[in-house]
Structure 1
Amino acid sequence: MQNKLPANYKLTAYTDHAHKLIINTERKNQILNFIAENNWATVSNLQDFIKVKHRQSITRLLDGLVGTGKLFVNKILVNNVSHNVYTITNLGCFSINLGYRYYQFRLSTQNFLHATKVQSLQIISLSFGFTWINELNIIRSKLYSSQPDGVLIVPKSSVQISIELQRNKLNINSFKAKINKCLADALNKKFTSILYVCTDNVTANIMSRTFNSINSVKGKNNKSVILTPEYRKYFEFINIIDYHNYLNKLILQG
C-alpha cells in the first residue's frame, strides 16, 4: 500500500512558490533602486549587493527586468572582454515610484574600472550596516571641494570618512592639490578623516611614503600649508584587501 501525501502538500508547495515570488520581487526592487541611485551597475556588483550565491540567479533576475522593459543593458569592452552594464528605464523608475532619471552610459575604460571598484566598496559598506553617500549625491550637494569617491557614515556616531579609491600613483602636484582640498574639507567639518583605498597599480605603502615625503601644500590664496602631525592624522592609507578589516575596526571602536 502506497503512503499518502501529507494533507497540506499542495498548500506547502504553493506557499514555497509564493514565497519565492515575494523574494524575487523584493530583489528586483532592490536592484532597480540601487541602479536608480547609482545610474548603472554591473552583474558582479549586483550579485554582491543582493547576496545571491549563483551567477545564474542574478542573471535571471536581470534578464527578467530587461525583458519587461525596466532595465536597459549596455555593453563596454574592457581588455577585449565585453561587460554588461545595466541602466534603468522610465518604466523601471515608474515601477519603484521614482521620477525618471535619464542617464546615458558613457564611461571610458579607466573610469569604468575605477567606478566599478568604488561601487564595490559602497556595497561592502552597506552590507556592514554603514551609510554611504555616493559620488552622484556628493556632486549634487556641492558641499565638498575635494569631491571624494564616497563618504562613509559610521552608524550611531558623528564619524564621516571621505573615501578615495586610488588605482594608480598620482602625479606629485596633483596629489598635493588633492591633499589641500581634502584637508580643507576636514577642517571645515565636512568629514572626520580621509581614507585612501589602494588597488591595482599602487599600494598603501607607496601612497603613504609619498604622502610622508610632502612637507607642505598650497592652500587658500596660494599660501603654504605645513602638513603638521595634527594635519597628517586626518589621512589613512590601506589596501583594498584590508577594507573589511577596516570596517570591523570602526564597528569595534563605535
Structure 2
Amino acid sequence: MILPDATDSVGAACARVLLTPDPHAKLMAARAVARAWRQGRLAHRFDTVMPDRPARPDAPQLLPPNRMPKRGRIGSERARVAMLHALAHIEFVAIDLAFDLIGRFGGEFPPAFVDDWMRVGAEEAMHFALLDRRLRQMGSRYGALPAHDGLWEAASETDSNALARLAIVPMVLEARALDITPVTVQRFEAAGDPTSARMLRRIMTDEIRHVAAGTIWFKRATNRMGLDPAKHYQKLVKRHFRGSLKPPFNDSARRQAGLTCDFYVALAT
C-alpha cells in the first residue's frame, strides 16, 4: 500500500484505493486517504481519471445475481455465514463506491462534499472489517463464498452523472438497506446470535448518515439548478435504476436521513 504524501491530489489518492485489490490493503488505504484529507495533506484537485472498474481480489468468485446460491433460513449457522458474507461484499464494494464518487465527481462540488464522502468511505472500510472479523469468528472469511457484482453495475450506469449516482447509490441502494436491516437483526436475534445482531445495528446507524449525505448533496445540487428534488430524483431512478422500489419501507429511518416519502412512494411497486 502506498500512503498519501504532501504532493498528492484527492483524485490520485482515490484512484489508488480503487486500484488496490487485496481487501485488507484496500481498507487500510481507505483509512489512510481519509486521514490524510482530514489532516490537510491532500490537494483539492481532481487530475486523475477513475478506473472503469476497481481492482478485485481472486476471491470471492463473482456471479450474476440469478446464479447466486440460495442462502436458506438464518436459523442455521451456515445461512448466517452466507448472509454475513453477502453483507461483507456489499461493504467491500461500498468502499470503492465512496472513493469513486469523490474522485469522479468531487470537482463539481465544494470541499465539504469531500469531507462527507471521505467519512463515508472510512466507515464503509470499518464495516467491512467488522463483518470479516465476525466471519472469521464463525470459522469462515471474506472470499470463501461467491458474491454478485450488482452494486458496481449501478456505478457503471451512473459514471457520467453526479446526480444520478447520488440518486441510485445512496438514495436507492443504501436506503434499501435501511428497510431490510431491522428484519435481519430480528432474525439473527431469534437464531441466538446477538453478537451479529449488535454489529448490524451499529452498521445501520452509520448507514442512515450515508443516505443523509447523498440526500443532502442531491437536494443542494437540484435546488441550485432550479429543479424540484423529488421529481428529479424520480426521473433519474426511472432512467438509471433497473430494479424496482418495493415496499415495505422503513419510513422512520429514511426520514431521519432526509429521504421523505415524496421522493419514493410514487415509484413503489
Common fold: TM-score over 0.5: no
Bigger-Rg structure (1/2): 1
Whichever structure has more helix as a proportion of its residues is 2
TM-score (norm 2): 0.27
- Which of structures 1 and 2 has the larger relative contact order (alpha carbons within 8 angstroms, sep 6+)? 2
Larger strand fraction of residues: 1
The two structures have a TM-score, normalised by structure 1, of 0.28
